[in-house]
Amino acid sequence: MSYEGLRVMGIDPGLTRCGLSVAQAGRGRAVVPVAVGVVRTPAGAELAERLLRLSDAVNEWMDDYRPDVVAIERVFERGNVSTVMNTAHAVGVLMLAAAQRGIPVHMYTPSEVKKAISGNGRADKKQMTVMITRILGLSEPPKPADAADALALAVCHCWRAPLLARTAEALSPQSTHPEGVRP
């Protein structure tokens, strides 16, 4: 199966700043950027209002760009519990928007994305921005970092989609080994 043309929405979730991107898989490892941006919500607003603004924005993006799949960063934070909770609330809103459209969602840890894009699971924000700018052939780095991170998630999924599909097929009950024995 060819994944050329697969349209991936990459999302770097956040309540204050949420990075959104859309990229399309090309031939081989080529990826074409379609759109990138950041949704901001005012820190002083009530949580429900902020989630509504985020929901409205992601729904508009999904309607405008019609992604085939969503790649979102898995919430992983060792720091402030309230920050983790706010990000988790945002992730719920973002995943719901995809689910309402029947769009599959794949989650990636920051280190998985960093390893896929830079070859180093501990790459810093600057390294990631340089790599995503180079990979996508952009004339200038995407700003802020949330936008670059959203693009990195989309590229990561474009590159991993074929392997994920082969793995799912190999593990499916209908899949059999050529000699008729499941692996």
Q: Which residues are annotated as a binding site for Mg(2+)?
A: 12, 73, 146
Asked if 73 is an active-site residue, the reply is: yes
**The token pair that represents 79 in the structure block:** 């720091």
Asked if 56 is an active-site residue, the reply is: no
Q: Which of 49, 73, 140, 149 is catalytic?
A: 73
Query: If DSSP codes are grouped into helix, strand and coil, which group holds residue 112?
Result: helix
Rounded CA separation 59/41 (Å): 15
Chain-centre distance for alpha carbon 67:
11
Asked if 124 is an active-site residue, the reply is: no
- Angle between helical axes of 110-118 and 125-136 (0-180°, round to 10): 50
Q: Which of 4, 12, 64, 179 is catalytic?
A: 12
Rounded CA separation 31/34 (Å): 9
Q: Which of 146, 149, 169, 179 is catalytic?
A: 146
Task: List residues bridging with 106 in a β-sheet.
Answer: 71
Chain-centre distance for alpha carbon 99:
15
Q: Catalytic residue positions? A: 12, 73, 146
